[in-house]
Structure 1
Amino acid sequence: MNPTSIPTSNAVLQLKNVHYRVSSGDDQLAILKGCQLNVEAYESLAIVGRSGSGKSTLLALMAGLDSPTEGEVHLLGQNLSPMSEDQRARLRAKQVGFVFQNFQLMPGMNALENVMMPLELFGMTQAREKATAALEKVGLSHRLHHTPQALSGGEQQRVAIARAIVTEPKILFADEPTGNLDETTAAQVQQLLFDLQQQTTLILVTHDRQFAQRCQRQVTLAQGLLQDGLQ
């Protein structure tokens, strides 16, 4: 089945003929070559593919962290193409969460301050209370005042997840969220993400096929195009 055949009535994300090219000397290197995709609300979707296939690039385009060379990305009913970076940032701030493989926590801030940061950045109310609740949700109520260097890798990733969900996003993107974790800790983080998926749409990039198979749906990125299933 082609990804475009998924019904669009309740789609929170749509890719329409998305191309992405980068300069390589005097030439243009095509990373994405016309990707089509629809994702429904509260769906869990895994994107798999070989290293270097463009999975992280695709995820960044979906979240509005970058713009396609050609085509359209519609996120939560809004076409990102004509929007400025500030407009996309405001959309992400309140409705989109993003979890990175390398956590991207601020080393000089403790766990609570890291999770409060997106709320304070956009002037949202009750930042401390909401950040505390998010950290409790990921099982870190006892680590609020620890800085990242005092936390294990799994704890750092859980802080990053708390930061991503503190605004109660409608869609959560995760880029290789367990790639830097040991097997046991990775399994715990995976379970946490699927527990959270009851409240949000989950789209993740992973090289772990077993992790991918836990999602309701899988697509493979190969030769710049998306294909349904694990190829």
Structure 2
Amino acid sequence: MRAAVLSDVHGNAIALSAVVEAAQRVCAEAFWIVGDLVANGPQPVETIAIAKSLPNLAIVRGNTDRYVLTGDLSGMIPPIDQPRTPEEVEVLVAAASAHAWTRGCLTAAGHYDWFAALPLEVRRCLPDGTRVLLVHASPGRDDGPGLTVDTSDLDLAKQGWNDCEADLIFVGHTHMPADRSSGSVRMVNVGSVSLPPQPRGACWVLLDADESGYSLTWHETDYDRDAVRSALAGSHHPTPEWLAGKLKLDAPTPVRG
């Protein structure tokens, strides 16, 4: 089997389309999405439509998916639900407005019930018996500190990575690609399709698996940032300047040889 594993699309259907096309060119037959599908992007409806069309889709909710549904903002990275400065108040208002706008878009398009039913975790078993867990941040959680290359072994133990009956765990949340091991458990942060930590292509991982084992290949896929700018301009989003900053639309498109 061959699966494209991705996360943190954040309502950027243009970036998602580019990843899907790249994955299909290498014959991916399944798509696994580990959360944060629509919030903080100009194209939530289009993003869900693409996700629904994907073959052998497995998808879990992320923390911002939950915020879209509930209005809660606790557990974001960085925390914004208890602002202490005028700048932090502005971020709080922008995020709350963006989530409310996204919820309205999904409701109007008839996607709300599908979106609200996304599970916290999904489990799969690879042909060689490897037990896979898909979750957004860490076992049993869609928020919190999540996984980075700098997460300490002590924090890994506190977050329960070794106690979730899985051999391979795919997460997103921090937007920072990472490949860690603790005991017999391999933990992979696939990065972000739409909001990587610095200007770069959309990050995702290709999983190849058969009866003899599995392998992972990391990918970065360029996408048309000018098209994202145009989508944002035409979206009537309530906080377009804030969103443009999050999407790094002022940064040049990476050039790869």
Which of structures 1 and 2 has the larger relative contact order (alpha carbons within 8 angstroms, sep 6+)? 1
TM-score computed with the length of structure 2 as normaliser: 0.29
Q: Decide which structure has greater strand share.
A: 1
Q: TM-score, normalised by structure 1?
A: 0.31
